């Protein structure tokens, strides 16, 4: 199966960078991962939860640490379980209105990274986990691609099912409740979906960059869009283009793919600000 896909890629994209199988795997991972992050980022921006993914990214370290303490063999399982629990806790505390969203997220973010570092640095053992900070998309394997494909399909299906409820809740929660929307349940379902996407992406994107990859394309798309559908479309397009451009540039420059992708996304955001100013005139 993979050999067939590789052959199609060689025929359609005869690039020097794609002569290697690890680069093909990385490109496929980008094509599967960035659309999902682009979609989820639009609602994170609308819900004013731009730093939510940052808190979840930091919680990955704690998840791995607790997994080691409890004897869980799979780092991914540890991250997913802890990330989902952490996301629900943030969501529930946010819904109580006891503090502002940015304060709650900041508390959870700082707590999770401190707890993770405390556990993983015991005996000077943090060095082998430092790759999680910046990620390595070139380490993607064919089995990882299958997991990302499943995540993309499930994510899109859930996005379609929840989209109207999420959008109405983000605009006017009281109106949404009057229309029969269970706003709290919808919001919790959304944060769980974001948590799963973030934890799946951490290995290849990195803790330090995951928030930027989720938010920057959505923020740029919002500057260019005139309605919610255009926002989602622009966000996905920008995420895809920046992902592919960043990967190819990283190969040419021999540098971090995640960092290159984020810089391209930041450039797109700057361009979108100028475009928005011109359209406003």
Q: What is the CATH number of the domain that holds 137?
A: 1.10.3470.10
Q: Decide if 247 is inside a domain.
A: no
Q: Based on the structure, what is the number of domains in the chain?
A: 1
Computed over its alpha carbons, how large is the radius of gyration of the chain? 19
253 found inside a domain: no
Average pLDDT, the chain: 85
262 lies in some domain: no
Q: Is residue 255 part of a domain?
A: no
Q: Is residue 127 part of a domain?
A: yes
Q: CB within 8 A of 96, min separation 6: which ones? A: none
**Is 245 inside a domain boundary?**
no
Mean pLDDT of 7-23: 79
Burial class (CB in 10 A: 0-12, 13-18, 19+), 68: middle
Q: Quote the domain boundaries for residue 46.
A: 23-208
234-272 pLDDT tens trace: 999 999 999 999 999 988 888 888 889 999 999 999 999
Q: Which of 32, 44, 80, 77 is nearest to 191 (CA)?
A: 44
Q: Is the pLDDT of residue 69 over 60?
A: yes
Per-residue pLDDT tens for 158-215?
Answer: 888 888 888 888 777 788 888 888 888 888 888 888 888 888 888 788 877 888 888 9
pTM: predicted TM-score of the whole model, two decimal places: 0.88
**Digit-coded pLDDT (tens) for 72-115:** 888 888 888 998 998 899 888 888 877 777 788 888 888 888 88
The verdict on residue 234 lying in a domain is no
- Tell me if 61 sits within 8 A of 120, measured CB to CB: yes
Per-residue pLDDT at 125:
66
């Amino acid at each position: 199966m993979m050999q067939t896909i590789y052959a199609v890629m060689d025929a359609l994209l005869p690039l020097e960078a794609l002569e290697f199988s690890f680069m093909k795997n990385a490109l496929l991972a980008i094509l599967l991962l960035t659309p999902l992050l682009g979609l989820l980022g639009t609602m994170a921006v609308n819900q004013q939860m731009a730093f939510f993914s940052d808190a979840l990214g930091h919680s990955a370290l704690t998840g791995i640490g607790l997994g080691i303490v409890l004897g869980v063999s799979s780092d991914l399982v540890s991250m997913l379980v802890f990330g989902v629990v952490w996301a629900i806790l943030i969501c529930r505390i946010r819904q109580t209105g006891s503090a502002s969203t940015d304060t709650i997220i900041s508390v959870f973010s700082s707590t999770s990274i401190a707890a993770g570092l405390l556990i993983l640095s015991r005996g000077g053992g943090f060095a082998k986990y430092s790759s999680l900070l910046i990620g390595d998309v070139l380490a993607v394997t064919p089995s990882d691609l299958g997991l990302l494909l499943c995540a993309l399909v499930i994510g899109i299906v859930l996005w379609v099912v929840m989209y109207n409820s999420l959008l109405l809740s983000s605009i006017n929660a009281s109106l949404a409740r009057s229309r029969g929307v269970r706003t709290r349940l919808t919001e919790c379902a959304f944060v769980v979906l974001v948590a799963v996407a973030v934890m799946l992406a951490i290995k290849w994107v990195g803790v330090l960059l995951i928030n930027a990859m989720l938010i920057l394309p959505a923020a740029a798309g919002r500057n260019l869009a005139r309605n919610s559908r255009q926002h989602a479309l622009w966000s996905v397009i920008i995420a895809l283009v920046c992902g592919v451009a960043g990967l190819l540039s990283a190969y040419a420059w021999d540098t971090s793919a995640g960092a290159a992708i984020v810089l391209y996304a930041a450039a797109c955001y700057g361009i979108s600000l100028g475009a928005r100013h011109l359209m406003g005139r």
